Amino acid sequence: MERLDKLLAATGRWSRKQAKALVKQGRVLVAGQLPQGPEDKVEEGTTVTVDGRPIVTQRYVYLMLHKPAGVISSTQDPREKTVIDLLPRDLRRLDLFPVGRLDKDTEGLLLLTNDGPLAHELLAPGKHVEKVYYARVEGLLNQADQAAFQEGITLADGTACRPAKLEILSPAHQCLVTLGEGKYHQVKRMLASRGKPVTYLKRLSMGPIALDPGLAPGAWRPLRQEELASLGR
Ligand code: URA
């Protein structure tokens, strides 16, 4: 338990005096409720918002980002805009990193955290955490493609992919691909090996976490309690 004004000041964005003023102005909500005053005690992990924007009150931070096309999945880059650049200043200071990578032109679910062990759990090759992608392709998808995915595709350079699932949403160009691994450009290369180059790619889920349909590209939100629980956090 921590005093509300102290907790706000610990973000580095406000002094203790400014934090008290924010609370008195009614700009702060604790778990969606107006607090009684700056001295209210707040439990770790409670969502605290200032002007409707969540601030960080936990040791580890877990965010879901709807990655837009055109930004890279790195923490910093001298030329390119990164996924971290999409966050407000107080969150940029927390050493967050993306759990795995999406290509620059790929959209969709990207988890950002500073919990190294969690990233390891989700990415370790032996763990087979399933990722689901929505893809649009050139060419017509057919049962032979599905069978090849099920069998395990070998890419042009000899890389063997584990069996994967291809679900055809419409033969003319739309499918879902489920992978338990994450090789470089894997979805694009698997579909290209079937003569169906990808024209659009979006990640819909990673393990138990699904992209919130309410998040526009470029938007983010903290993971909810039940989502954290599904990750064992
Ligand atoms: N597979 C790809 O080809 N690209 C991504 O960004 C993710 C998976």
Active-site positions read 103
pLDDT tens string 20-29: 999 999 999 9
Q: Distance between CA 20 and CA 14 in Å, rounded? A: 9
- Our mutation pick for probing the ligand 1 site, out of 185, 200, 205, 206, counting the most ligand atoms within 8 A of Cβ, is 185
pLDDT tens string 127-169: 889 999 999 999 999 999 999 999 999 998 999 999 999 999 9
Query: Whole-model pTM?
Result: 0.79
Q: Distance between CA 87 and CA 99 in Å, rounded? A: 16
Nearest CA to ligand 1 atom 3: 185
Q: Distance between CA 35 and CA 132 in Å, rounded? A: 41
**The predicted structure's pLDDT at residue 8:** 86
What are the contacts of 184-187 at 24+ separation with CB within 8 A?
A: 185/103, 186/161, 187/133, 187/135
Ligand 1 lining (C-beta closer than 6 Å) = 102-103, 106, 185-188, 201
Residues of the chain predicted below pLDDT 50: none
Q: Distance between CA 36 and CA 30 in Å, rounded? A: 10
Do 116 and 73 contact (CB within 8 A), yes or no? no
Distance 45 CA to ligand 1 centre (A): 33
- Our mutation pick for probing the ligand 1 site, out of 187, 199, 200, counting the most ligand atoms within 8 A of Cβ, is 187
